Amino acid sequence: MRDNMIVIDNLHKYFGHIEAVKGVDMTVDKGEVVAIVGPSGSGKSTVLRCINHLEIPTSGSVIIEGVNLEGKSVNLNEVRAEVGMVFQQFNLFAHLSVLDNVTIAQKLVRKRSKEEAKEIAMQQLKRVGIPEKADAYPRQLSGGQQQRVAIARSLAMNPKIMLFDEPTSALDPEMIKEVLDVMLDLAEAGMTMVVVTHEMGFCRAAASRVVFMDGGQVVETDTPEVIFTNPSHERTQLFLSKILAH
């Protein structure tokens, strides 16, 4: 029996009259790194945002560690505390220092003491390689540094799952590597991760499975080797030929 962390069942999401996600099924096992790839507008970010219910699915269900988020008595805040999320635009709290960014949710949600939260925050900032920026403000950091702080902010909550929504798409090329390195470390440490990305190098290096989405549906799911060398669907081949052309 596999250890399912996330089970997505027949997920549909409408925005007004537009159906962004058309019946997606997906499972993510403990310790797996699942990369979701596909052309823009294919619904991959929407699927990711439905996992922690930042978007409420129109129909279908999301089950995290056996808890069905559609259930009436579910405390979404408790579930979200276990599911870290990293955004394309970092979304660091602009009015707080780096340290406060990483400690505030620990104090408010995890009810940790100031000292404990600070200690954990410094550990995580060391892990992402920028402990010296603890007193800086987000606007004083480069994009890559901001994204690493955002990762530390999520990790400080000790999540069981990490979601990444195109974490390197807003970065200058020279900063992409520093963020991907942190993500690779995290994958090697056994974190369960779902990553929406255009970084095929990262998929090859870290993904246990690649999910190719197009038009709001999952077209094909397989290991990176198979997807990149021998995809079975024409749409997958077409997409890969475009992004791997140069």
CB count in 10 Å sphere of residue 59: 13
CA 31 to chain CA mean position, Å: 14
Q: Report if residue 142 touches another protein, rule: CB under 8 A.
A: no
Q: Report if residue 154 touches another protein, rule: CB under 8 A.
A: yes
Phi, psi of 193 (to 5 degrees): -135, 140
How far is residue 26's CA from residue 172's CA, in Å, rounded to a whole number?
Answer: 32
Task: Give me the helix-helix angle, 114-127 and 143-155, nearest 10°.
Answer: 130
Give the angle 237-200-131 at the CA atoms, nearest 5°. Answer: 165
Phi, psi of 201 (to 5 degrees): -60, -40
Q: Is 1 exposed, middle or buried (0-12, 13-18, 19+ CB in 10 A)?
A: exposed
Q: Report if residue 109 touches another protein, rule: CB under 8 A.
A: yes
How does strand 67-68 pair with strand 83-86? unpaired
Nearest distance from residue 171's CB to another protein, in Å? 16
Q: Report if residue 105 touches another protein, rule: CB under 8 A.
A: yes
Residue type present at position 194: V
Phi, psi of 227 (to 5 degrees): -60, -45
When binding is defined by CB under 8 A, the residue of 3, 78, 135, 172 that contacts another protein is: 78
Give the angle 32-36-37 at the CA atoms, nearest 5°. Answer: 145
Nearest residue (CB) to another protein, 169 versus 221: 169
Stretch that binds another protein, among 39-47, 153-161, 204-212, 238-246 (CB under 8 A): 153-161
Q: Report if residue 92 touches another protein, rule: CB under 8 A.
A: yes
Q: Report if residue 111 touches another protein, rule: CB under 8 A.
A: no
Nearest residue (CB) to another protein, 165 versus 214: 165
Nearest distance from residue 33's CB to another protein, in Å? 19
Stretch that binds another protein, among 85-93, 119-127, 169-177, 213-221 (CB under 8 A): 85-93
Q: Report if residue 147 touches another protein, rule: CB under 8 A.
A: no
Which residues are paired to 145 by β-bridges? none
Nearest residue (CB) to another protein, 74 versus 104: 104
Instruction: Report the site for another protein in 3-42 (rule: CB under 8 A).
Output: none
Q: Report if residue 83 touches another protein, rule: CB under 8 A.
A: yes
Q: Report if residue 192 touches another protein, rule: CB under 8 A.
A: no
When binding is defined by CB under 8 A, the residue of 45, 52, 124, 145 that contacts another protein is: 52
Binding site for another protein (CB under 8 A): 52, 54, 77-78, 80-85, 87, 89, 91-95, 104-105, 108-109, 150, 153-154, 157
